[in-house]
Amino acid sequence: MTDAAAALTDFGLALEAALFAGLINPGRRVGGRQSDRGKSPQATLVRWFELFFYAVAAASLIGGAVHGFVPDQGTVAGRALWIATMIAVGAAALAAWGIGATIGLPARIAQVVVWAAGAEFALYAGAVFSGMRSFRGAIIEYLPAALFLLLVFVLGYRRSRESGYLPGALAMAITLLAAAVQQSSAAIDALGLTHNALYHLIQGVGLWLLYMSARRLVESHAGGIDRPHRQNADRRD
């Protein structure tokens, strides 16, 4: 492997994300039927979280292959893998917009946000296929979605005091920290950890916290009614 630390931590992150994607559906976790695939808030939220975790898993798996076995992006294989990695990061950003819109906005406004995010993702994908190769571009693509989701989690907890929002807010803060570490080229040479390996390790902690938040929030949407919103309505009555 040309960068064993980065590749192995990438593969570990892929495994973690894929596991969370498989566990996020409440029905699947208990061995029963999967959550209703209709248009209920719970089903919509499950789909967005599944997309997010699977996109992170794909980006990490392909990224690990690049770091470990195809370091030269100038080759045909290197270009193809790097394009796939950046598209997967964009898909994770799209899912983050969908998650935030579903749990934090009224249905009609959420739909507009999702449509806008989808259009922006299409533009981003076009730029990637047209030659944008810097991972900084992928981070810039993901940054607004991460900030939006952080804001949704913070405001959600402030509004409802629902504990499910707290690990989500911390997860997004850690994700932003991970991106800063990656861009700073910080490393721990004594442990053989490059800036990319540190980025993956920090991101792994954030991913676990986001899954903790996702489980609680998906369950709070059971029955098509967001529990925090319902509690607020009860207080007003």
Per residue in 84-134, pLDDT tens? 999 999 999 999 999 999 999 999 999 999 999 999 999 999 999 988 878
Burial tier of 109 (Cβ tally within 10 Å: 0-12, 13-18, 19+): exposed
The residue that leads in pLDDT, 185 or 216, is: 216
pLDDT at 139: 83
| 41-69 vs 76-104: helix crossing angle, rounded to 10 | 160
Phi-psi region of 192 (alpha: psi -120 to 50; beta: other; left: phi over 0): left
Other beta carbons within 10 Å of 184: 11
Q: How far is CA 165 from CA 44, 72, 93, 118, 234, in A?
A: 18, 41, 19, 25, 20
Residue type, 235: R
Question: Which domains are delineated in the chain?
Answer: 4-236 (1.20.1070)
Other beta carbons within 10 Å of 32: 10
Q: How far is CA 99 from the centre of its chain?
A: 9
The residue that leads in pLDDT, 203 or 32, is: 203
What does the pLDDT average to over 33-57?
A: 79
Burial tier of 173 (Cβ tally within 10 Å: 0-12, 13-18, 19+): middle
What does the pLDDT average to over 169-180?
A: 91
pLDDT at 222: 61
pLDDT at 43: 86
Q: What is the pTM of this model?
A: 0.85
The residue that leads in pLDDT, 77 or 122, is: 122
Q: What is the 3-state secondary structure (H, E, C) of 94-151?
A: HHHHHHHHHHHCCHHHHHHHHHHHHHHHHHHHHHHHCCCCCHHHHHHHHHHHHHHHHH
pLDDT band at 39 (very low <50, low <70, confident <90, very high): low
Given a cut of 60, whether residue 229 has pLDDT beyond it is no
pLDDT band at 36 (very low <50, low <70, confident <90, very high): very low
